[in-house]
Amino acid sequence: MATDKEKQPCPSLGLRLLGWWHRKRHRPLHVSPQKRVAIVGSPNVGKSLIFNRLTGVYVTVSNYPGTTVEVFRGCTVIEGVHYEIVDTPGMYSLLPGSEEERVARRLLLEERPDVVVHVVDAKNLERMLLLTIQLLEADLPVVLVLNMMDEASKVGLEIDTVSLTEALKIPVLPVVAVTGQGIAELRRVIHEVAHHGTFAAIRSKSGRGYCADNAAVAG
Q: Where are the domains of the chain?
A: 33-218
| Mean per-residue pLDDT, 67-76 | 91
Question: Residue 210: what pLDDT?
Answer: 47
| Mean per-residue pLDDT, 199-212 | 45
Question: Residue 39: what pLDDT?
Answer: 97
Question: Residue 197: what pLDDT?
Answer: 75
Share above pLDDT 70 across residues of the chain, in percent, rounded to a whole number = 75
Residue 205 has pLDDT above 50, yes or no: no
Residue 207 has pLDDT above 70, yes or no: no
Question: Residue 24: what pLDDT?
Answer: 54
Average pLDDT, the chain: 82
- 200 versus 33: which is more confidently predicted? 33
pTM exceeds 0.85 for this model? no
Question: Residue 56: what pLDDT?
Answer: 78
Residue 43 has pLDDT above 80, yes or no: yes
Question: What's the pLDDT band for 217 if we cut at 50, 70, 90?
Answer: very low
How many Cβ atoms from other residues are within 10 Å of residue 18's Cβ?
Answer: 12
Residue 122 has pLDDT above 70, yes or no: yes
Judging by beta carbons within 10 Å of its beta carbon (0-12, 13-18, 19+), is residue 89 exposed, middle or buried? Answer: buried
Pick the range with the lowest mean pLDDT from 44-53, 80-89, 110-119, 207-216.
207-216
Q: Is the dihedral of CA 213, 216, 218, 219 positive or negative?
A: positive
Widest CA span in the chain: 79
Question: Tell me, which fold does domain 33-218 have in CATH?
Answer: Rossmann fold (3.40.50)
Question: What's the pLDDT band for 28 if we cut at 50, 70, 90?
Answer: very low
| Mean per-residue pLDDT, 54-75 | 86
Nearest to 117 by CA among 182, 68, 57, 63: 182
| Mean per-residue pLDDT, 70-83 | 92
Share above pLDDT 90 across residues of the chain, in percent, rounded to a whole number = 62
| CB neighbour list of residue 186: distance below 8 Å, 6 or more residues apart | 50, 54, 117, 143, 145, 173, 175
Question: What's the pLDDT band for 151 if we cut at 50, 70, 90?
Answer: very high
